[in-house]
Amino acid sequence: MPLKTGDEYVASIEALDLEANVLGEPSRGLAGHALVRPSLRAVAVTYDCAHDNEVGALFRVHSPLTGEQVNRFTHLHQSAADLVDKVLMQRHCGNRTGCCFQRCVGLDAANAVYSVTYECDRALGTGYHRRFRDYWAWVQREDLVVAGAMTDPKGDRGRRPSEQADPDLYLRVVDRQPDGVVVRGAKFHQTGMLNSHEIIVMPTLALRPGEEDWAVCFALPVDAPGVHYVLGRQASDTRKLEGDPVDVGNPTFGGQEVLTVFDDVFVPAERVFLDGEVDWSGPLVERFAAYHRQSYGGCKVGVGDVLIGATALIAEMNGVARASHVRDKLVEMIHLNETLFACGVACSARGLPTAAGNYLVDLLLANVCKLNVTRFPYEMARLATDVAGGLLGTLPAARELDDPEVGPYVRKYLAAAGGWDPLQRMKVLRLIENLVAGAGAVAYLIESMHGAGSPMAQRIMIGRQGDVAAKVELARKLLGIPPNNHS
Amino acid sequence: MPLKTGDEYVASIEALDLEANVLGEPSRGLAGHALVRPSLRAVAVTYDCAHDNEVGALFRVHSPLTGEQVNRFTHLHQSAADLVDKVLMQRHCGNRTGCCFQRCVGLDAANAVYSVTYECDRALGTGYHRRFRDYWAWVQREDLVVAGAMTDPKGDRGRRPSEQADPDLYLRVVDRQPDGVVVRGAKFHQTGMLNSHEIIVMPTLALRPGEEDWAVCFALPVDAPGVHYVLGRQASDTRKLEGDPVDVGNPTFGGQEVLTVFDDVFVPAERVFLDGEVDWSGPLVERFAAYHRQSYGGCKVGVGDVLIGATALIAEMNGVARASHVRDKLVEMIHLNETLFACGVACSARGLPTAAGNYLVDLLLANVCKLNVTRFPYEMARLATDVAGGLLGTLPAARELDDPEVGPYVRKYLAAAGGWDPLQRMKVLRLIENLVAGAGAVAYLIESMHGAGSPMAQRIMIGRQGDVAAKVELARKLLGIPPNNHS
Amino acid sequence: MPLKTGDEYVASIEALDLEANVLGEPSRGLAGHALVRPSLRAVAVTYDCAHDNEVGALFRVHSPLTGEQVNRFTHLHQSAADLVDKVLMQRHCGNRTGCCFQRCVGLDAANAVYSVTYECDRALGTGYHRRFRDYWAWVQREDLVVAGAMTDPKGDRGRRPSEQADPDLYLRVVDRQPDGVVVRGAKFHQTGMLNSHEIIVMPTLALRPGEEDWAVCFALPVDAPGVHYVLGRQASDTRKLEGDPVDVGNPTFGGQEVLTVFDDVFVPAERVFLDGEVDWSGPLVERFAAYHRQSYGGCKVGVGDVLIGATALIAEMNGVARASHVRDKLVEMIHLNETLFACGVACSARGLPTAAGNYLVDLLLANVCKLNVTRFPYEMARLATDVAGGLLGTLPAARELDDPEVGPYVRKYLAAAGGWDPLQRMKVLRLIENLVAGAGAVAYLIESMHGAGSPMAQRIMIGRQGDVAAKVELARKLLGIPPNNHS
Amino acid sequence: MPLKTGDEYVASIEALDLEANVLGEPSRGLAGHALVRPSLRAVAVTYDCAHDNEVGALFRVHSPLTGEQVNRFTHLHQSAADLVDKVLMQRHCGNRTGCCFQRCVGLDAANAVYSVTYECDRALGTGYHRRFRDYWAWVQREDLVVAGAMTDPKGDRGRRPSEQADPDLYLRVVDRQPDGVVVRGAKFHQTGMLNSHEIIVMPTLALRPGEEDWAVCFALPVDAPGVHYVLGRQASDTRKLEGDPVDVGNPTFGGQEVLTVFDDVFVPAERVFLDGEVDWSGPLVERFAAYHRQSYGGCKVGVGDVLIGATALIAEMNGVARASHVRDKLVEMIHLNETLFACGVACSARGLPTAAGNYLVDLLLANVCKLNVTRFPYEMARLATDVAGGLLGTLPAARELDDPEVGPYVRKYLAAAGGWDPLQRMKVLRLIENLVAGAGAVAYLIESMHGAGSPMAQRIMIGRQGDVAAKVELARKLLGIPPNNHS
Note the pLDDT tens digit of each residue in D165-180. Answer: 999 999 999 999 999 9
When pLDDT is averaged across residues D317-333 and rounded to a whole number, the result is 97
**Interface pTM (ipTM) of the complex?**
0.98
Radius of gyration over alpha carbons of chain A, in Å?
Answer: 24
Closest CA to A77 of A114, A43, A39, A105: A114
Q: State whether A306 and B478 contact (CB < 8 Å).
A: yes
Note the pLDDT tens digit of each residue in A432-483. Answer: 999 999 999 999 999 999 999 999 999 999 999 999 999 999 999 999 999 8
Q: State whether A23 and D442 contact (CB < 8 Å).
A: no
User: Which of left, alpha, beta for C198 (phi over 0: left; psi -120 to 50: alpha)?
Assistant: beta
Q: State whether A417 and D454 contact (CB < 8 Å).
A: no
**Residues of chain B contacting residue C442, judged by C-beta atoms under 8 Å apart:** 393-394, 437
**Residues of chain B contacting residue D326, judged by C-beta atoms under 8 Å apart:** none
**Residues of chain A contacting residue B341, judged by C-beta atoms under 8 Å apart:** 346, 365
When pLDDT is averaged across residues D322-344 and rounded to a whole number, the result is 98
Instruction: State the smallest CA–CA distance between residue B315 and chain D in angstroms.
Output: 18
Predicted pLDDT of residue D276: 98
Q: How far is CA B129 from the centre of its chain?
A: 25
Q: How far is CA D380 from the centre of its chain?
A: 19
Predicted pLDDT of residue C102: 96
* Identity of the amino acid at D160: R
Chain B residues contacting D via beta carbons under 8 Å: 324-325, 328
Predicted pLDDT of residue D361: 98
Instruction: State the smallest CA–CA distance between residue B30 and chain C in angstroms.
Output: 16
Q: How far apart are CA A34 and CA A30, in angstroms?
A: 8
**Residues of chain C contacting residue A327, judged by C-beta atoms under 8 Å apart:** none
* Contact in structure between A235 and A197 (CB atoms under 8 Å): no
**Residues of chain A contacting residue D258, judged by C-beta atoms under 8 Å apart:** 394
Confidence of residue B2 (pLDDT cuts 50, 70, 90): confident
Residues of A acting as catalytic residues: 100, 104, 191, 257, 292, 296, 299, 447
Confidence of residue A1 (pLDDT cuts 50, 70, 90): low
Note the pLDDT tens digit of each residue in B304-359. Answer: 999 999 999 999 999 999 999 999 999 999 999 999 999 999 999 999 999 999 99
Note the pLDDT tens digit of each residue in D127-158. Answer: 999 999 999 999 999 999 999 999 999 999 99
Q: State whether A472 and B349 contact (CB < 8 Å).
A: no
Give bridge partners of residue A258 from the DSSP assignment.
A190, A231
Q: State whether C437 and B433 contact (CB < 8 Å).
A: no
Q: How far apart are CA C437 and CA B105, in angstroms?
A: 24
Note the pLDDT tens digit of each residue in B430-443. Answer: 999 999 999 999 99
**Residues of chain B contacting residue D328, judged by C-beta atoms under 8 Å apart:** 325, 328
Indicate the helix (H) or strand (E) that contains A378. helix A376-388
HSE-CB at D158 with a 13 A cutoff on CA atoms is: 14
**Residues of chain B contacting residue A343, judged by C-beta atoms under 8 Å apart:** 339, 342-343, 346
Average pLDDT, chain D: 97
Predicted pLDDT of residue D68: 96
When pLDDT is averaged across residues B371-400 and rounded to a whole number, the result is 98
Predicted pLDDT of residue C2: 79
Is pLDDT above 60 for B371? yes
Is pLDDT above 90 for D486? no
Instruction: State the smallest CA–CA distance between residue A153 and chain D in angstroms.
Output: 6
Confidence of residue A485 (pLDDT cuts 50, 70, 90): low
Average pLDDT, chain A: 97
Q: State whether A338 and B462 contact (CB < 8 Å).
A: yes
Closest residue in C to A328 (Cα) is C325
Instruction: State the smallest CA–CA distance between residue D334 and chain C in angstroms.
Output: 6
Q: State whether A406 and D433 contact (CB < 8 Å).
A: no
Note the pLDDT tens digit of each residue in B85-142. Answer: 999 999 999 999 999 999 999 999 999 999 999 999 999 999 999 999 999 999 999 9
Confidence of residue B484 (pLDDT cuts 50, 70, 90): confident
Predicted pLDDT of residue C486: 54
In sequence order, which residues have a C-beta less than 8 Å from that of residue C153 and are 6 or more positions away? Answer: B413, B414, B415, C169, C170, C185, C186, C188
Alpha-carbon distances of C229 from B263, B391, C21, C147, D263, rounded to whole Å = 52, 15, 6, 13, 80
Q: How far apart are CA C399 and CA C246, in angstroms?
A: 9
Three-state secondary-structure class, residue D181 = strand
| Facing residue for A235 by CB, picked from D169, D235, D257 | D235
Predicted pLDDT of residue D125: 98
* Contact in structure between A59 and A313 (CB atoms under 8 Å): no
When pLDDT is averaged across residues B294-304 and rounded to a whole number, the result is 98
Find the catalytic residue in D299, D343, D347, D369. Answer: D299
Predicted pLDDT of residue C84: 98
How many Cβ pairs closer than 8 A exist between chain A and C?
6
Alpha-carbon distances of D248 from A193, A396, A446, rounded to whole Å = 25, 20, 18
Instruction: State the smallest CA–CA distance between residue B291 and chain D in angstroms.
Output: 35
| Facing residue for A487 by CB, picked from B419, B428, B473 | B419
* Identity of the amino acid at C391: L
* Identity of the amino acid at B86: K
Our answer to whether residue D292 is catalytic in this structure is yes
Predicted pLDDT of residue D484: 77
Report chain C's terminal Cα–Cα distance, integer Å.
63
**Residues of chain C contacting residue D296, judged by C-beta atoms under 8 Å apart:** none
Q: What percent of chain D has pLDDT over 70?
A: 99
Instruction: State the smallest CA–CA distance between residue D295 and chain C in angstroms.
Output: 15
Predicted pLDDT of residue B1: 58
Note the pLDDT tens digit of each residue in C234-263. Answer: 999 999 999 999 999 999 999 999 999 999
Strand B198-201, strand B146-149: pairing: parallel
DSSP assignment of C445-470 equals IIHHHHTTS-HHHHHHHHHHHT-HHH
Note the pLDDT tens digit of each residue in A192-247. Answer: 999 999 999 999 999 999 999 999 999 999 999 999 999 999 999 999 999 999 99
DSSP conformation class of B219: E
| Spans in chain C with pLDDT lower than 50 | 487
| Facing residue for C305 by CB, picked from D341, D459, D474 | D474
Residues of C acting as catalytic residues: 100, 104, 191, 257, 292, 296, 299, 447
Our answer to whether residue D54 is catalytic in this structure is no
**Residues of chain C contacting residue A324, judged by C-beta atoms under 8 Å apart:** 324-325
Closest residue in B to D323 (Cα) is B324
When pLDDT is averaged across residues A375-400 and rounded to a whole number, the result is 98
* Identity of the amino acid at A21: N
Q: State whether B462 and A334 contact (CB < 8 Å).
A: yes
Predicted pLDDT of residue A174: 98
Q: How far apart are CA D41 and CA D6, in angstroms?
A: 8
Is pLDDT above 70 for B185? yes
| Facing residue for B475 by CB, picked from A313, A369, A468 | A313
Predicted pLDDT of residue B233: 98
Chains within contact range of chain C (3+ C-beta pairs < 8 Å): A, B, D
Q: State whether B413 and C259 contact (CB < 8 Å).
A: yes
User: Which of left, alpha, beta for D335 (phi over 0: left; psi -120 to 50: alpha)?
Assistant: alpha
When pLDDT is averaged across residues A72-92 and rounded to a whole number, the result is 98
Note the pLDDT tens digit of each residue in C181-198. Answer: 999 999 999 999 999 999
Q: State whether D328 and C459 contact (CB < 8 Å).
A: yes
| Backbone phi and psi for residue B261, each to the nearest 5 degrees, phi listed first | -115, 135
* Contact in structure between B261 and B227 (CB atoms under 8 Å): yes
**Residues of chain C contacting residue B186, judged by C-beta atoms under 8 Å apart:** 409, 412-413
Instruction: State the smallest CA–CA distance between residue D331 and chain B in angstroms.
Output: 13
Q: State whether A159 and D319 contact (CB < 8 Å).
A: yes
Q: State whether D445 and A385 contact (CB < 8 Å).
A: yes
Q: How far apart are CA D250 and CA D438, in angstroms?
A: 10
Is pLDDT above 60 for B486? no
Q: How far apart are CA D183 and CA D268, in angstroms?
A: 11
Q: State whether D349 and C347 contact (CB < 8 Å).
A: no
